[in-house]
Amino acid sequence: MRKNLLVAMIVVVCSVMALSVNTSQTNASSFGMVAAANPYASEVGAYILEIGGNAVDAAIAVSFAIGVVEPYASGLGGEGYAVIAMADGQQYAIDFRAAAPAMATYEKLTEEGLRISTAHRTARGACVPGTLAGVQAIYELGATLPLETLMEPAIRLAREGFIVDPTFAQTIADLYDALLNNAFDFLDEGLAWEAGQLYKNPDLADTLEHLVTHGLDDFYTGALADAIEAFMIENDGYIRKEDLESYRSFVREPLHGTYRGYDLYVPHPPVSGPHLIATMNILEHFNLSAFTWDDPLGIHIIHQAMLLADLDRRTYISDPDFHDMPIMGLMSKEFARSRAMEISLKQAINPDNFWDFVGDAYPYEDGKTYVEVILESLMQEVATAQEEIYESPSTTNFTIIDGDGNAVSWVQTVSSFWGNTYYMNGFFFNNQLQNYAGTYRPGDVINLTPGMRPRTTICPTIIKKDGVVRWVLGTPGGGRIMSTMTQMIVGLIDFQLPIETVVGLPKYAAGTAFRTLPMEDTFPESTFQFLSEVFGHNISLYSYPDLYFGGPNIISRETSGMIVGVGSIRRDGAASAPEK
Amino acid sequence: MKKAVVIFAVLALMLVPIFAEEVGPFYDQPIFITSAGQSPGALQMSVLARAVQLTHVFERVLSAEEIDMSDIGTVIIVAGASGKGLGAAGIDTEVEIARVLGIVEKAKESEIPVILVQLEGAPRRGPSSDQIVEALIPFTDFLIVKLDADEDGFFTDIHEEHEIPILFFERTNDVREILRNLFL
């Protein structure tokens, strides 16, 4: 059924766009590649490359298109982060994360008899959306085609419709009550859209056309901003026009780390770039290539490294405009050595004792070695956020390489699927409020603070070798993002597996949010047995393939120059290539 | 066989308006709608009933003791197990089956017909959902089933073995017309 729907969707897209691009789950081309969670979106990107756009042009077009065909996972009411590597050597990390509105405080919530856990699926759950500010910044950095041209495919998809896929339908079913209450106009006369139906969103088409006419900034300062404020007031939401007017995206150089001779370019806090580099630094101290992907000792080591890095993430990572954090220490090889020492090759860390294993990264900010620090035995008290914040398997990612070697890794989201479920002018608002601490805790780096961007795990990444882009990676998946990213990088670099294999291999997850070891059920039985009976892991099985573990859409630039793309197997992803 | 049942049912319903004066509605209102498995299908059934302007009550987790059957013309059970829904209700499949069995047993005692609906199709088939359906079959007077939920013949076999009339539909929106013809 899924394969038939994918074929039907591709046929419809091709006929709608009169394209000469080719699309499949795994694809190879020397002209460029777009990998995305939805074939409509990947085809849009390949179409833009086909008509002469570069990777930045294609990325902007895909951002709009995927917000149309995956309204549950991202869109105008959402936010994200992108990492770009241009062929001329320029590199950018663009932060367009949502920011807490001025009214969003614990006091306000308490006054209304609410907590974050009860407010995030109301209009109050929306933080100031950053998608369009990000698109504007990225457009100015490197686009070559008119913005109208880049938005036209998305407008056409919204106006003429597209075939609903199983993920779209299933996510509606999962949240039907809330959507019925808050987004009746989105539904099919009150009913859930079904896989195989043609879905049109004329309201969104109108909104996008409005933006073409009036400029993207209208969302933040113009008529759309007025409409958003009015909607929020009517629905007791917190966003006001002042919040929109004061919103900014940030353009920085990506953070840089290395892993076995490869260069990793990753985003800044409050997302998980430093976390990824810290994890890979720990793993660099183990000879992982001596293992196979399903070896229980190898899995155990990777799992424990991911857990330790997650402890540190939850301790330190926040919005750098609001909190100082020892980022250089966290990403240092010396700190990683001290963390590697915490990994027992005989026994997994007991979940009851997770918080005994937090690392102190501050001493490493000054460039001290692990020998110096440990001998000095200086440990500062740091506030640790021990509250678990559940992250749903939501969000979307896409990756692009064009024929000139420009590369984009882009992740965008409305936080949970369908965000806060409030629907206006064809799009849903995010519910990023859920990613702040549930209650105020002194010293907690993720206390709800007006203007602050919440910490999340997204991590668009570009990996280079000797200055040349080798892989463009990213994945959705909430709290499982780091686990999937780590396993993919180990698979590519240590096990030297092709990207189709690293995407398709069963996955597992590690982190402080997991008291068990979640694993997809297609590892060998002996692996499960060894992990549980020898290392003491408490395994919880998921039927392969499970969306819970994310849905990476990634691209490889082979040493031959061929570009290979893989769409996610867990979410109807696809890779599209121009034919010239 | 399935195609023949579908054709027969569609023809039968098409003939209803012609013989409306003699035939009248097949089932009575008010309708009591509940879920068996806590999937969103039961709420969708309420939406459909409202769209057709049927007098009905929708309750997700009410037990038999809390229902006054004297006010009810027909019971509609929408079967479909949802781990999320059961979890939100704080119950498991066994407790849910016991709850719904209580309702249909009470309906039977009051001579109130029971319509069992599989609304959400193939994605809502599975061991728990099938277990629920099988438990309710002895009390079912009419089946309404989404076509793609019967790819393995599960519901056709039930229809044949238990001689329960069955109607298949393709799209959820088709159920409006079915409800219209059954109740109006």
pLDDT in tens, B122-143: 999 999 999 999 999 999 999 9
What's the CA dihedral at B121, B126, B129, B131 to 10 degrees? 140
* Residue B18's pLDDT band (cuts 50, 70, 90): very low
pLDDT tens across A358-384, in order? Answer: 999 999 998 999 998 888 865 444 444
Closest-CA distance, B47 to chain A, in angstroms, reads 7
Residue with tokens 């709420």: B43
Between these two residues, A548 and A18, which has the higher pLDDT value? A548
3-state secondary structure of A135: helix
Which of B35, B38, B39, B43 is most worth mutating to test chain A (most A CB atoms within 10 A of its CB)? B43
pLDDT at residue B25, rounded to an integer:
81
Please report, rounded to a whole number, the percentage of residues in chain A having pLDDT higher than 70. 94
Q: Does A4 touch chain B if contact means CB atoms closer than 8 Å?
A: no
* For range A113-134, the mean pLDDT: 96
Residues 6+ apart with CB under 8 A from B34: B42, B58, B59, B60, B61, B62, B75, B76, B77, B78, B100, B103
Q: pLDDT at residue A307 above 60?
A: yes
Average pLDDT, chain B: 89
* For range A155-172, the mean pLDDT: 96
Examine residue A545 and say whether the peptide bond preceding it is cis (omega within 30 degrees of 0): yes
Average pLDDT, chain A: 94
Residues of chain B in contact with residue A418, where contact means CB-CB under 8 angstroms, are none
Residue with tokens 């987790």: B61
pLDDT at residue A12, rounded to an integer:
53
Q: Is the CB of residue A66 less than 8 Å from the CB of residue A38?
A: yes
| Amino acid sitting at position B80 | G
pLDDT at residue A375, rounded to an integer:
83
* Lookup: tokens for A192: 């859930």
Instruction: Please state the pTM of the whole predicted model.
Output: 0.92
Q: Does A169 touch chain B if contact means CB atoms closer than 8 Å?
A: yes
Residue with tokens 């407010």: A119
Which of B120, B152, B176 is most worth mutating to test chain A (most A CB atoms within 10 A of its CB)? B120
Q: Rounded distance, CA A10 to CA A572, Å?
A: 11
* For range A98-110, the mean pLDDT: 97
Residues 6+ apart with CB under 8 A from A523: A294, A299, A506, A508
* Lookup: tokens for A76: 């105008």
Residues of chain B in contact with residue A170, where contact means CB-CB under 8 angstroms, are 123
* For range A123-149, the mean pLDDT: 98
Q: Do B43 and A177 touch (CB under 8 A)?
A: yes
Residues of chain B in contact with residue A181, where contact means CB-CB under 8 angstroms, are none
Of A170, A180, A189, the CB nearest to B43: A180
* Residue B19's pLDDT band (cuts 50, 70, 90): very low
pLDDT at residue A411, rounded to an integer:
97
Q: Do A197 and B51 touch (CB under 8 A)?
A: no
pLDDT tens across A225-262, in order? Answer: 999 999 999 999 999 999 999 999 999 999 999 999 99
Closest-CA distance, A181 to chain B, in angstroms, reads 11
Closest-CA distance, B40 to chain A, in angstroms, reads 6
Q: pLDDT at residue B8 above 50?
A: no
Is residue A401 classed exposed, middle or buried when 0-12, 13-18 and 19+ CB atoms within 10 A define those classes? buried
Closest-CA distance, B156 to chain A, in angstroms, reads 21
Q: Do A189 and B121 touch (CB under 8 A)?
A: no
Which H or E run contains A301?
helix A296-316
Q: Do B171 and A197 touch (CB under 8 A)?
A: yes
Find the range with the poorest average confidence among A146-150, A195-199, B17-21, B83-87: B17-21
User: Where does residue A26 fall: left (phi above 0), alpha (psi -120 to 50 degrees), or beta otherwise?
Assistant: beta
CA angle A204, A208, A211 (to 5 degrees): 140
* Lookup: tokens for A106: 């614990």
Q: Does A170 touch chain B if contact means CB atoms closer than 8 Å?
A: yes
* Residue B15's pLDDT band (cuts 50, 70, 90): very low
Q: Do A191 and B173 touch (CB under 8 A)?
A: yes
Give the number of beta-carbon pairs within 8 Å between A and B. Answer: 38
Residues 65-94 of B with CB under 8 A from A: 84
Nearest Cα neighbor of A420 from A550, A236, A241 is A236
* Residue A389's pLDDT band (cuts 50, 70, 90): low
Residues 6+ apart with CB under 8 A from A471: A462, A463, A492, A499, A554, A555, A556, A557
